[in-house]
Amino acid sequence: MSSSPPSERRGRLRRRLAGWSLRRRLVLSVVALLALVSVGIGGLTTVALRHFLVDQIDNQLTFGDRRPADFERWARHGADPPRPDQRPTPPDSDEAAPAPPGGFPPGSIAVRVPTSAEPVGRIRSESGSSEEVPAADLAPLARMPAGERPRTVTVGGRGEYRAVALPSPRGDGDVLVLAIPLAQVDDTVMWMLVAQAGVIGAGLVIAGALGALIVRVTLRPLNRVAATAARVTELPLDRGEVALSVRVPAADTDPRTEVGQVGGALNRMLGHVAAALAARQASETRVRQFVA
């Protein structure tokens, strides 16, 4: 079954809108425009917020202005202390799995990618300690080229991370990878969206109610003009002597307003109709006198 052509759909839309009152059209137009502006502002604000949060994470990953000193200190002494049943491993050894630097949030991962061994890494837990990460989860981080800007990487089933690969300060060709989860950023953005949806929804309801009230007050002169025209239609203008004294109030005939222009034009038209009725009545009177 073929869909209706665009012209037919537009025609149905026009016919549907034609039955709407001017008040409803104005209120819905204002609410729709306000919704469009609010969604646009909310979208730009959300994008700017996420960009700012990601920049903060990138600055933390690259150690900011403190990178030359703090990064080298962490690279040489950042390995977790060995367990009692584990032989000590020097931090500079290729077998050492570095722990994320202090100050990194839970879920952060630090990986050492040696040139002649498998990558090793640890993840910071909620308690502050670190645990080893399976090699399968380290593969996306181990493939990152060193020296580039931080990028977003999906680490297995752990979600998206913001990660950066930095060459080891020892100059042995090893690569150290740091990754911070984006879960907190996504949660912040989601709460921001929920808050914006609530504020926009409440604002549209209030704007619709106030808009309906303002439009109703604004259209009162037009309603009075329409009431005057309705009273004229109820007069018996087709016979006898007619006193057409109905007029639009002077307050509604201000030529500076659209409603005033309509009211003034209606008064002039009623004046012409009254003159025509008076002329007809005079002609009929002369005919009756002549016949008598």
Residue 23 has pLDDT above 70, yes or no: yes
Cα dihedral 87, 88, 94, 100 sign: positive
- Closest residue by Cα to residue 246 from 265, 236, 232: 232
Highest averaged pLDDT of the listed ranges 174-178, 229-233, 277-281: 174-178
Q: How does DSSP assign 261-280, residue by residue?
A: HHHHHHHHHHHHHHHHHHHH
- The whole-number pLDDT of residue 193 equals 93
DSSP symbols for 92-152:
TSTT--BPPPTTPPTT-EEEEE-SSS--EEEEE-TTS-EEE--HHHHHHHHTSPTTSPPEE
Q: Which residues, in sequence order, are bridge partners of residue 132?
A: 122
The letter for the amino acid at 162 is R
pTM of the predicted model as reported, rounded to 2 decimal places: 0.68
Average pLDDT in the chain: 78
Tokens found for residue 89? 């491993």
Rg (CA), the chain: 40
Give the model's confidence band at 240: pLDDT under 50 very low, under 70 low, under 90 confident, else very high.
low
Higher pLDDT, 242 or 273: 273
**H-assigned helices in 62-146:** 72-77, 135-142
> Which has more pLDDT, 74 or 178?
178
pLDDT top residue among 35 and 222: 35
At 75, the pLDDT band (50, 70, 90 cuts) reads low
Confidence tier at 239 by pLDDT (50, 70, 90): low
- Max avg pLDDT among 42-51, 86-95, 167-176, 271-280: 42-51
Q: H helices of 129-257, where?
A: 135-142, 183-218, 220-233
Residue 254 has pLDDT above 70, yes or no: yes
Residues 6 or more apart whose CB falls under 8 angstroms from that of 133 comprise 109, 111, 121, 122, 123
Residue 8 has what pLDDT? Answer: 67
Residues 148-201 pLDDT 10s = 788 888 887 888 999 888 887 766 677 888 889 999 999 999 999 999 999 999
Q: Which residue has the higher pLDDT, 5 or 289?
A: 289
Backbone angles phi, psi at 178, to 5 degrees: -115, 135
